């Protein structure tokens, strides 16, 4: 079975017009080491394009984008939706390069170009399995909107999140009922979030794992779940130029010997499609 067929959700995924739209930034809030960028559609039809949890958008500032001596940033940046509320999109950002730096500077009233929602999102648990959400760093973003939808549908969720330190761990407030791990032990368990995952699956393996985070974390989740025969859906991230499958800049190899494009076959892929999660395919790129 192809990567496209395996990664397609059972429901029709949300799509938007083929072209970017100008949104208006409504707030830019600090959340520990992160920023939460809020942006609203500038026309009433914007509510028609609500994203599915796990989908993403290509973002660029309306001004001072592609400027400066080296014309960076130039390409838009891909970000998972962290929340969607009545036409207002929320994105979790960390200032790690020229693109994210410019987006982190935006203030209320500034313009934001958005192309999306794009890709395929998470699929609901089956066979009575419980939802187990596992995130690392800025990769927690799509898990927040997914928890919102699961809770609204009456599904119980368990949430395991890992961060570098206390400042980054403040991002955990985007979700509820969180078990924490941190590299330095300043928040929760000292160690890896996969330590918590292993213990959780020892306690009750009848789960489906939903994960997003840096590539090493995703690879550990994939390996652990594959060894135990537990279904897992991984939200991948990769460098993209277009976001709709034209440039082939975000391909990842599959176990079948083919390639999947993160932007159109994912970003959410079943873990058992992959032999490994490569270094460029994590949620903290």
Q: What is the DSSP letter of 266?
A: -
- What pLDDT is stored for residue 241 in this prediction? 81
Where among 84, 118, 152 does a domain terminate? 118
Same domain flag for 199 and 140:
yes
Q: Is 106 helix (H, G, I), strand (E, B) or coil?
A: coil
**pLDDT (tens digit, 9 = 90+) per residue, 159-201?**
999 999 999 999 999 999 999 999 999 999 999 999 999 999 9
Same domain flag for 28 and 82:
yes
- What pLDDT is stored for residue 46 in this prediction? 52
Residue 83 sits in a domain whose CATH number is 2.40.30.10
Q: Which residues contact 138 (CB under 8 A, 6 or more apart)?
A: 34, 92, 93, 94, 171, 283, 284
- What pLDDT is stored for residue 244 in this prediction? 81
Where among 90, 118, 146 does a domain terminate? 118
- What pLDDT is stored for residue 73 in this prediction? 82
How far apart (Å, rounded) are the C-alpha atoms in residues 23 and 217?
33
Residue 283 lies in a domain: no
- What pLDDT is stored for residue 242 in this prediction? 84
- What pLDDT is stored for residue 225 in this prediction? 97
Residue 77 lies in a domain: yes
**pLDDT (tens digit, 9 = 90+) per residue, 53-89?**
999 999 999 999 986 666 678 889 999 999 998 889 9
Same domain flag for 236 and 209:
yes
How far apart (Å, rounded) are the C-alpha atoms in residues 117 and 47?
12
Strands of the sheet containing 34-41, edge to edge, are 77-80, 56-61, 111-118, 21-31, 34-41, 88-93, 83-85
Would you say 81 and 55 are in contact if contact means Cβ atoms under 8 Å apart? yes
Which residue range(s) make up the domain with 51?
3-118
Can you list the residues of the chain whose pLDDT is less than 70?
1-17, 43-48, 67-71, 281-285
pTM score, two decimals? Answer: 0.91
């Amino acid at each position: 079975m192809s990567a496209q067929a395996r990664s397609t959700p059972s429901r029709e995924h949300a799509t938007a017009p083929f072209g970017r739209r100008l949104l208006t930034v409504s707030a830019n809030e600090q959340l520990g080491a992160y920023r939460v960028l809020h942006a609203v559609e500038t026309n009433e039809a914007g509510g028609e394009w609500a994203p599915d949890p796990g989908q993403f958008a290509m973002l660029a500032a309306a001004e001072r984008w592609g400027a400066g001596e080296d014309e960076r940033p130039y390409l838009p940046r891909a970000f998972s939706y962290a929340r969607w509320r009545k036409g207002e999109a929320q994105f979790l950002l960390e200032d790690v390069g020229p693109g994210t730096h410019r987006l982190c500077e935006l203030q209320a009233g500034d313009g934001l170009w958005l192309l999306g929602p794009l890709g395929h999102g998470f699929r609901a648990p089956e066979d009575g399995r419980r939802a187990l959400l596992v995130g690392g760093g800025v990769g927690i973003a799509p898990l927040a909107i997914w928890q919102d939808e699961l809770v609204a549908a009456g599904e119980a969720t368990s949430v395991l999140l890992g961060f570098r330190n206390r400042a980054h761990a403040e991002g955990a407030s985007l979700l509820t009922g969180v078990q924490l791990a941190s590299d330095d032990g300043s928040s929760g368990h000292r160690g890896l979030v996969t330590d918590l995952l292993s213990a959780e699956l020892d306690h009750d393996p009848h789960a489906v794992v939903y994960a997003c985070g840096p590539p090493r974390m995703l690879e550990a989740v994939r390996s652990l779940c594959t060894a135990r025969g537990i279904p897992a859906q991984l939200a991948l991230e990769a460098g993209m130029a277009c976001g709709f499958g034209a440039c082939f800049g975000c391909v990842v190899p599959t176990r079948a010997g083919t390639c999947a494009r993160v932007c159109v076959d994912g970003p959410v892929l079943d873990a058992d499609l992959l032999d490994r999660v490569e270094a460029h395919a994590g949620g903290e790129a």
